[in-house]
Structure 1
Amino acid sequence: MPWFALYTESRHEKKVAEKLTKLGIEVYCPLVTQIKQWSDRKKKVEVPLIPSYVFVKLEESERNVVFEVSGVVRYLYWLGKAAIVKEEEITLLKNWLSGSSISSFEIKGIAIGDSYKIESGPFTGKEGIVTTIDKNYLSLVLPQLGFKIILNK
């Protein structure tokens, strides 16, 4: 069975994933923990890694079942067909989020637009394009995986 990318209404990713799971559909909604700052406090919250998207694993013939859930908008399409996400990419994402974390990094001689090869961690060997450099983080677009990662200091 292939994985498909499903577009959801804004901020409905977790609700959609929960409802699809209750229907017996295998769902993956990658979440990351962030510290949110309010005027009076800080709090750790889980937010989707890829806003407005969840991944579903089901047969091509069962694709319409997901529209029974409120919050589902449409499938992501590529060249006129529902985009299929490779099993290896989902596994890589799960492995990366399950415990591997980057504790620190140093930015030296890197400029926006440069190609940068990741030397350690779950994305070892993957090459990305630097899109943002700040004193506390670095953003890389990984074209072969189709997403951007942000490395925090």
Structure 2
Amino acid sequence: MIDLDDIDRALMRALAEDATQSAGALGRDLGLSQPATWRRIKRLREAGVFGPRRVDLNLEGLGFGVTVFLGVKLATKGQVSLEDFERAVRAIPEVQTVQHVLGLFDYRLRIVAQDLSDFERILRRRVMTLPGVGNVEANVLLSEERLSGPL
């Protein structure tokens, strides 16, 4: 685990709000030079504090109006390997995340669909045909608040 000081925390907060800021602009806000800011960012990246860079897509703007969290209980864990299930579910493009969890269900999937009838099609034709699927429970996302910044 990396030791973080107040400047590191401020830098993480600033980048979590807007990751496109330059090291020079961040440094000016934090009272650091551009090279010192860049060295801190590099140290945090190398320590694994930052995940991979990616674009945050607006799903509604792409036509996906429904997000569903689907709990999946495997019917017979011994007859199908977890790896087989994970490989098959990752091949479904509408599945955004696959989480292996402890509790009532074995997996929690985040699925996006155009609408509820599109989700029903995904559920019937893609998810329910996966190897080992037993019980499922769907929760439709009504709203989502994003927490800003790091812990």
Higher strand share: 1
Q: Relative contact order (C-alpha < 8 Å, sep 6+): which is higher?
A: 2
Shorter-normalised TM-score: what interval?
0.3 to 0.5
TM-score, normalised to structure 2's length?
0.35
**Which structure: larger Rg?**
2
Higher helix share: 2
